[in-house]
Amino acid sequence: MISAEKLLEKQRTYFRSGATRSVSYRVHQLETLQKVLVEHEEELMNAVYEDFKKPELESYATELGILHDEISYAIKKLRKWVKPKRVPGTLINFPSSNYTVAEPYGAVLVIAPWNYPIQLALLPMVGAIAAGNTVVVKPSELSPNTSSVLKKIFEAWFKEEFVAVVEGGVEANQDLLSQDFDYIFFTGSTRVGKIVMEAASKHLAPVTLELGGKSPCIVDGTAKIKTAAKRIAWGKFLNAGQTCVAPDYLLVHSSVKVELLEALKNSIRDFYGVNPKLSPDYARIINKDHFHRLCSYLKEGDIFSGGRYDEEEYYIEPTILNNPKNEAGVMEDEIFGPVLPILEFESIADAIYRVNSGSKPLALYLFTENKTTERLVLKECSFGGGAVNDVVAHLGNRNLPFGGVGNSGMGNYHGKASFDTFSHTKSIMRKPTWLDVPFRYAPYKGKLKWIRKILK
């Protein structure tokens, strides 16, 4: 197996050869990537199923479908994105023409988590290729079937000096992180995000950190409860709750709490039947450690519905946890599983206070029909992105840059934002030589008053 050092050297040499720079090369590679996803669709979906029994429709919609959409869009828009952008000149530099141009960073490293193991490894890659970089991708060791299929497929279809998949765990990652990559794009936990940023600082490598956190979902007294319940249950129990932007906990106005709890219970039954264990549409927990961590939360409140589990299958029933204990794990850690704690509030100011007393979340959701409440919550709470009267869906719009803030991350991607993330914006001023205004040159005597007039 090639070492991380040698791999980076190969990629850097390839990048410096200029091979990745032409638009036609980038488009061709994106088309190849799309072909790979079509030809290996079944193999990829089976691998994700093997990893945690992810249902077929969810695998298509949230892994392959979203990738197809992103690739088609990048192919369609790339010629426009790479064009230099003219910007206005300023009087002090008259005459000049000014523009910015997107330049690839070089060799970039993408580190992915296990929960959307195809999408989160390849979606950043689309932006990196579109921007003209070479890419090393490190998928997660916790989704080993998907990781090994990705490795096999990419070895067969791409030159490793252009795109390479490196398998392995923490050690492989640390090895990669000790190299001098030109850009590091990390998706994963806040804890590991800090390790990545520290490693990147040694080489001053720029980073995007797509992290997690506790994303609140507020339901006020005016919300359309049945629709809210359906959408919340869908977004929470999709991927068995193992979604970075899943509603982590609910803040419900006391006047609608009973109605919402009942509606949530009904939605869960409608989606997965009376015994979700038998449903083909409900995934499993990724491994034993996460299974036990999640089971421990079941004791940290009153189970309103759900609560059954089976260690053999790493199955945990969609669970609604009423009156969770404060300072319990379930209200301290990111849940990242099918347990939904419910908290109650009396005034929207209390709900806002509760949200703002934690770290800035990756997502925030609000169900309301009241415009004043909507404006207030969106103004007062800082979070990565979110939705009003829906959950999770904002992530599926490539025109909305996706990323966190504070503890939930920095930087963003999707659509054009991906191209921008993986490009350095180079600024150029072009001066003609037919005129050389003498203000800037010494001797300065008598010139200050003119400079003052222009720079004000």
| Catalytic residue list | 210, 244
Among 44, 111, 223, 340, binds ligand NAD (CB under 6 A): 111
Among 10, 26, 54, 138, binds ligand NAD (CB under 6 A): 138
Q: Which of residues 401-440 bind ligand NAD (CB under 6 A)?
A: 404, 409
What separation in angstroms does the CA of 356 have from each of 31, 216, 221, 289, 364?
Answer: 44, 10, 20, 30, 11
Distance in Å, CB of 336 to ligand NAD, minimum? 6
Q: How far apart are CA 375 and CA 352, in angstroms?
A: 12
DSSP secondary structure string for all residues of 130-172: HTT-EEEEE--TTSHHHHHHHHHHHHHHS-TTTEEE---SHHH
DSSP secondary structure string for all residues of 387-449: EES-SSGGGG-TTS-B---GGGEE--BSTHHHHHHTEEEEEEEE--SS---GGGSSP-TTTHH
Name the one range near ligand NAD by CB under 6 A: 19-27, 112-120, 127-135, 253-261. Answer: 112-120
Q: Is the peptide bond before 84 cis (omega within 30 degrees of 0)?
A: no
Name the one range near ligand NAD by CB under 6 A: 181-189, 231-239, 262-270, 427-435. Answer: 181-189
Distance in Å, CB of 70 to ligand NAD, minimum? 14
Q: Return the CA Rg of the chain.
A: 25
Q: How far apart are CA 33 and CA 126, in angstroms?
A: 9
Residue closer to ligand NAD (CB basis): 115 or 418: 115
Per the CB < 8 A criterion, the answer to whether 206 and 186 are in contact is no
Q: How far apart are CA 121 and CA 112, in angstroms?
A: 5
Name the one range near ligand NAD by CB under 6 A: 8-16, 153-161, 184-192, 264-272. Answer: 184-192
Residue closer to ligand NAD (CB basis): 195 or 295: 195
Residue closer to ligand NAD (CB basis): 200 or 351: 200
What separation in angstroms does the CA of 127 have from each of 73, 150, 165, 316?
Answer: 11, 18, 16, 36
- How many residues bind to ligand NAD according to rule CB under 6 A? 28
Closest residue by beta carbon to ligand NAD: 212
Distance in Å, CB of 426 to ligand NAD, minimum? 28
> Should residue 163 be labelled a site residue for ligand NAD when binding is judged by CB under 6 A?
no
* Tokens encoding 108: 């970039």
Residues 424, 429, 435: CA angle, nearest 5 degrees: 175
Q: Which of residues 114-133 bind ligand NAD (CB under 6 A)?
A: 114-115, 120
Q: How far apart are CA 108 and CA 94, in angstroms?
A: 38
Name the one range near ligand NAD by CB under 6 A: 47-55, 136-144, 269-277, 421-429. Answer: 136-144
Name the one range near ligand NAD by CB under 6 A: 187-195, 305-313, 375-383, 446-454. Answer: 187-195
Q: Which of residues 313-352 bind ligand NAD (CB under 6 A)?
A: 334, 336
Among 62, 134, 140, 267, binds ligand NAD (CB under 6 A): 140
Taking phi over 0 as left and psi of -120 to 50 as alpha, with beta for the rest, 387 belongs to beta
Residues that bind ligand NAD (CB under 6 A): 111-115, 120, 138, 140-142, 169-170, 173-174, 187-189, 192, 195, 210-212, 244, 334, 336, 362, 404, 409
